Amino acid sequence: MKIIKRNGAEEVFDLKKIIAAIHKANESVEESCRLTDEEIDDLSDVVQHQCEDMGRAPSVEEIQDLVENQLMKYCAYELARSYITYRYKRALVRKSNSTDDQILSLLEFNNEEVKQENSNKNPIVNSVQRDYMAGEVSKDITRRFLLPPDIADAHQKGLIHFHDADYFAQHMHNCCLVNLEDMLQNGTIISETMIDKPKSFSTACNIATQAIAQIASSQYGGQSISLAHLAPFVEISRQKFRKAVTAEFESQNITVSQEQINNIAEIRLREEINRGVQMIQYQVITLMTTNGQAPFVTVFMYLHEAPEGQVRDDLALIIEEMLNQRIKGVKNEAGVFITPAFPKLIYVLEDDNITEGSKYWELTKLAAKCTAKRMVPDYISEKVMKELKGGDVYVCMGCRSFLTPDRFTDAGVDNIAKAKNYKKGVHKYYGRFNQGVVTINLVDVACSSYGNEKEFWKILDERLELCHRALMCRHERLKGTLSDVAPILWQNGALARLEKGETIDKLLYDGYSTISLGYAGLCECVYRMKNVSHTSPEGSEFATRVMQRLNDACQTWKKESNIDFSVYGTPLESTTYKFAKCLQKRFGIIPGVTDRNYITNSYHVHVTEQIDAFEKLRFESQFQKLSPGGAISYVEVPNMQNNLDAVLSIMQFIYDNIMYAELNTKSDFCQVCGFDGEIKIVSDEDGKLVWECPNCGNRDQNKMNVARRTCGYIGTQFWNQGRTQEIRERVLHVSNDMSPEKIF
């Protein structure tokens, strides 16, 4: 059995240390108040058994709590007082240098919690360590100086989660939709170098990737770009090639038809599209931002975003190449093609690509093949999104965060970002961003009310107000931010073209940007309150009322401040483990509620619940409507590469029923034996969950490539114990031999 030390490092459980600590406290009290050696041994054995029953690595703090509880049961009050006093004094000493201790554990590569905090960061790499070190300092400053004590305390206890505290000391926002069209068509500046409008498709792709790297280094969330903004440059290259081919034949005095010239030019154009798309894929993967990871880029593929005709057909060519290259994958160190984490791809299902025989049906079939092989693209239904977003269709920021529908254009708030591609009266999305997220732990609200519904609503309202104040801290931190802090964002077109010395304040109001009230654990919350799954009629009714309460709160705050608060289905990664540990510490083990080392993301059906893919998507669609700030649903599927008809059937169901969804498959490789399949999760001799190749038994994470979708995006650097348990317990929502006829 392992334990987690205060600095996050993992260590083997040592019963002797518990016995020694009790003996030390025992010697400090009157002899009449002391325990016998036998009593101390018995007490220590009980504590050990309690730790083993947790089914996870307990923290030192949890073990000390267990010791205190046992001392009280022995009525050894004087001894307990001595033990608690010593513990308090040591805590005061640690408090003075806790940040130093955290940083030192990072440098020694033994901070187990931070090592697996982000599934796309390798904590051994210097740039990642530098980012984590800066993050520890930022979190310390945030905790001690920048946040009100009650908010910092609520975050520490897991009542709420104040996201990205490691970046809060800086004036940085979360995620955005890059106005790539403005940057490419009207020029930009990168590293104080003027970049003119590109004169070919490949140059446009190159500029896009360079801009992405700088944008990603200037914020802490994901950034999204649209391939529609690159599509016009295909025609520029086409005309360029036609002129070049014509000149080549004329120089040789060869007479050819215009059709022949066009055919040759088209071959060269296809080669350029191949090079340009390859540039995007490989540069995004190989670029490393200042936070030590590849840019968290989402690529949007929406045919109707381009005008009908040649430009839309050219967009289809780019999408086709993007899908083909992702199907191929990228080579790992051994030269084997594997699934990359980025860029994330989103494909929009539309009326002219969703049915057999429609104009772009072959493109949709290619998307299905890509999903079966590489887990992407994810899918947005144009039909459903228009119903939920006031007739507009636009990409999410990062893995699921959605802007609120444009309300400032209709209200007469014109081009406040000073974008050069602004069109009066046309709804605007590119150039907008999210200010940040604070998440409420709904499971804690339910447990704190002990199943009393009247008390539940009272506590929920109190916690919502706590979240409101925390979100306003995020907002106030951005107020007064000068455009100079990130010129590529605020001055050179990515988000705005403000003047030097101008603040970004006006972009924080009128719905131009959003700020997100996240939520987690709706499933466990309902089970604690109603003792039924939230998929049952009674559970669903209560879950809907909870979600409506969150939305009502956001609407109230929005009216008070003219800031677009929005409910957001939080993609918990490491926090799912933190919340679970906090709940177990506060409330013990409650079956169906706190008995696992994770809680469920947002509104999702519990990963262990037996439900078919279509019923799951149908059920969860109602909660996407109640999560306007962002949400994504998924279905867990086996290897579907030989069953693309079933994949297409799921995609068609998505188009008709839910706004945003994805299919989770597996894509792993063992570098020891060459196994290409699903690498399994097993328990080692200490009860720790580890990854193991089913073919050769390899457990060395440095010698395997594992890709799993965990939070709406693909992770490739492994996960903490809570998330790993959640991955292991996922049930399939589609059987491997299911035909489209059986599905429906």
pLDDT tens profile 366-381: 999 999 999 999 999 9
Q: How far is CA 145 from the centre of its chain?
A: 28
pLDDT value of position 422 = 97
Question: Could you say which of 220, 568, 598, 603 is catalytic?
Answer: 568
Is residue 94's pLDDT more than 60?
no
Is residue 692's pLDDT more than 70?
yes
306 — phi, psi (to 5°)?
-100, 145
As a whole number, mean pLDDT of residues 329-356 equals 91
As a whole number, mean pLDDT of residues 410-414 equals 92
Is residue 332's pLDDT more than 90?
no
| 401-440 CB burial, b ≥16 within 10 A, e <16 | bbbbbbebbeeebebbbbbebbeeeebbbbbbbbbbbbbb
Asked whether 582 and 444 are in contact (CB, 8 A), the reply is: yes
DSSP string spanning 547-611? Answer: HHHHHHHHHHHHHHHS-EEEEEE---STHHHHHHHHHHHHH---TTTTSSS---BTTPPPTTS--
How confident is residue 125, by pLDDT bands cut at 50, 70 and 90? low
β-strands 297-301, 344-349: how paired? Answer: parallel
Beta-bridge mates of residue 217: none
Which bin fits 588, alpha (ψ -120 to 50), beta or left (φ > 0)? left
pLDDT tens profile 133-172: 667 777 888 888 899 999 999 999 999 999 999 889 889 9
pLDDT value of position 464 = 98
Rounded to two decimals, the pTM is: 0.85
How confident is residue 744, by pLDDT bands cut at 50, 70 and 90? very low
Choose among 697, 738, 687: nearest CA to 12: 687
As a whole number, mean pLDDT of residues 190-202 equals 95
Residue recorded with tokens 């240098």: 97
How confident is residue 182, by pLDDT bands cut at 50, 70 and 90? very high
Burial of 89 (0-12, 13-18, 19+ CB in 10 A): exposed
What is the Cβ-side half-sphere exposure of residue 125, based on CA atoms within 13 angstroms? 14
Residue recorded with tokens 């996960």: 719
- Cis previous bond, 591, omega within 30: no
Is residue 112's pLDDT more than 60?
no
pLDDT tens profile 22-65: 998 888 888 888 899 999 999 999 999 988 887 777 888 888 88
Beta-bridge mates of residue 188: 195
Choose among 600, 587, 586, 602: nearest CA to 550: 602
Catalytic residue at 69? no
**Cα 195 to Cα 211: distance, rounded to the nearest angstrom:** 10
Q: How far is CA 185 from CA 45, 179, 238, 431, in A?
A: 71, 10, 17, 14
Is residue 666's pLDDT more than 90?
no
**Cα 339 to Cα 669: distance, rounded to the nearest angstrom:** 9
Is residue 720's pLDDT more than 80?
no
660 — phi, psi (to 5°)?
-145, 120
Asked whether 82 and 29 are in contact (CB, 8 A), the reply is: yes
Catalytic residue at 251? no
Q: Which residues contact 307 (CB under 8 A, 6 or more apart)?
A: none
697 — phi, psi (to 5°)?
80, 5
Token pair belonging to 147: 């946040």
**Cα 398 to Cα 176: distance, rounded to the nearest angstrom:** 8
Asked whether 604 and 620 are in contact (CB, 8 A), the reply is: yes
For CA atoms 339, 345, 346, 349, the dihedral sign is: negative
> Angle, nearest 10°, between helix axes 258-286 and 201-216?
20
Q: What's the maximum distance between 2 C-alpha atoms anywhere in the chain?
A: 113
Catalytic residue at 370? no
pLDDT value of position 191 = 86
Token pair belonging to 228: 């529609």
Catalytic residue at 98? no
pLDDT tens profile 511-562: 999 999 999 999 999 999 999 999 999 999 999 999 999 999 999 999 999 9
What is the Cβ-side half-sphere exposure of residue 475, based on CA atoms within 13 angstroms? 22
Question: Could you say which of 118, 421, 434, 441 is catalytic?
Answer: 434
3-class SS at 70?
helix
Token pair belonging to 556: 């109230």
Please count the other Cβ atoms lying within 10 Å of the Cβ belonging to residue 549.
15
Q: How far is CA 650 from CA 75, 205, 354, 618, 645, in A?
A: 62, 32, 11, 11, 9
- Cis previous bond, 571, omega within 30: no
Q: How far is CA 667 from CA 330, 335, 635, 681, 713, in A?
A: 12, 16, 16, 14, 14
Catalytic residue at 401? yes
pLDDT value of position 719 = 78
Q: In CATH, what is the architecture of 176-633?
A: Alpha-Beta Barrel (3.20)
Choose among 495, 519, 517, 522: nearest CA to 506: 495
Question: Could you say which of 322, 399, 523, 529 is catalytic?
Answer: 399
3-class SS at 617?
helix
How confident is residue 737, by pLDDT bands cut at 50, 70 and 90? low
pLDDT value of position 83 = 81
Burial of 391 (0-12, 13-18, 19+ CB in 10 A): exposed
Question: Could you say which of 174, 353, 492, 540 is catalytic?
Answer: 174
Question: Could you say which of 401, 483, 513, 566 is catalytic?
Answer: 401
Which letter does DSSP use for residue 146 in this model? I
pLDDT tens profile 290-318: 555 567 899 999 999 999 999 999 999 99
Question: Could you say which of 51, 375, 397, 651 is catalytic?
Answer: 397
- Residue 271's identity, in one-letter code, is E
Which letter does DSSP use for residue 435 in this model? E
pLDDT tens profile 548-598: 999 999 999 999 999 999 999 998 877 888 999 999 989 999 999 999 999
Asked whether 549 and 597 are in contact (CB, 8 A), the reply is: no
**Cα 743 to Cα 642: distance, rounded to the nearest angstrom:** 16
Choose among 411, 403, 368: nearest CA to 385: 403
**Cα 316 to Cα 301: distance, rounded to the nearest angstrom:** 9
Catalytic residue at 573? yes
Residue recorded with tokens 């693909």: 714
- Return the percentage of the chain with pLDDT > 70, whole number: 90
Token pair belonging to 88: 């308090």
Token pair belonging to 555: 């609407």
Token pair belonging to 617: 């998507």
pLDDT value of position 119 = 47
Token pair belonging to 59: 């923290």
Catalytic residue at 396? no
How confident is residue 223, by pLDDT bands cut at 50, 70 and 90? very high
Element (H, E) at 212: helix 201-216
Catalytic residue at 649? no
Choose among 592, 612, 681: nearest CA to 653: 612
How confident is residue 608, by pLDDT bands cut at 50, 70 and 90? very high
Residue recorded with tokens 């049930």: 731
- Residue 240's identity, in one-letter code, is K
Is residue 221's pLDDT more than 50?
yes
**Cα 514 to Cα 403: distance, rounded to the nearest angstrom:** 6
Catalytic residue at 702? no
As a whole number, mean pLDDT of residues 691-697 equals 95
Task: Tell me the residue length of the chain.
Answer: 744
Question: Could you say which of 272, 320, 350, 573 is catalytic?
Answer: 573
Is residue 100's pLDDT more than 80?
no
